[in-house]
């Protein structure tokens, strides 16, 4: 059976979106790894600060490590939320295209 123009167009669009979704997934994995690193760095510095009594050393650790790690961690958390939203939205495109494809296929099979 020859694919209809509509089906070909939808398949091409789905392929484009799937490729874009693949790029988002790859970026998501990279950011998730980086987030994990900063989570460890942040928690380690927090634990060291809690175990230190010298206020000068504590302040130095906060300035050099803890605050920058916390900022990076929070930025990465926000970025990963944005990527999750993109994934959700583009996955919705694929689901909707599949829905239309099934409906069109059913119409063709009934005719």
DSSP-derived secondary structure letter, 10: H
Q: Which residue has the higher pLDDT, 25 or 111?
A: 25
Task: Say which residues have a Cβ less than 8 Å from residue 61's Cβ, sequence separation at least 6.
Answer: 45, 48, 49, 52
Q: How far is 41 from 90, CA to CA, in rounded Å?
A: 33
Sequence length of the chain is 111
Mean pLDDT, rounded, of the chain: 92
The full DSSP string for 28-71 is HHHHHHHHHHHHHHHHHHHHHHHT---HHHHHHHIIIIIHHHHH
Residue pLDDT, tens place only, 9-37: 999 999 999 999 999 999 999 999 999 99
Stretch among 3-7, 51-55, 58-62, 89-93 having the lowest mean pLDDT:
3-7
Task: Give the pLDDT confidence score for residue 2 in this predicted structure.
Answer: 53
For the chain, percent of residues with pLDDT exceeding 90? 84
Higher pLDDT, 58 or 3: 58
Dihedral angle of Cα 56, 58, 63, 65, to the nearest 10 degrees: 140
Tens of pLDDT along 67-87? 999 999 999 999 999 999 999
Is the full-model pTM beyond 0.85? no
């Amino acid at each position: 059976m020859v694919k209809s123009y509509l089906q070909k167009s939808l398949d091409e669009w789905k392929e484009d979106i799937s490729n874009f979704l693949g790029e988002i997934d790859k970026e998501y994995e990279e950011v998730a790894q980086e987030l994990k690193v900063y989570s460890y760095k942040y928690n380690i510095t927090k634990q060291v600060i809690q175990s230190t009594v010298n206020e000068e050393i504590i302040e130095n650790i906060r300035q050099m490590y803890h605050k920058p790690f916390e900022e990076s961690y929070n930025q990465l958390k926000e970025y990963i939320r944005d990527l999750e939203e993109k994934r959700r939205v583009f996955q919705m495109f694929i689901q909707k295209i599949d829905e239309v494809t099934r409906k069109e296929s059913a119409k063709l099979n009934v005719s």
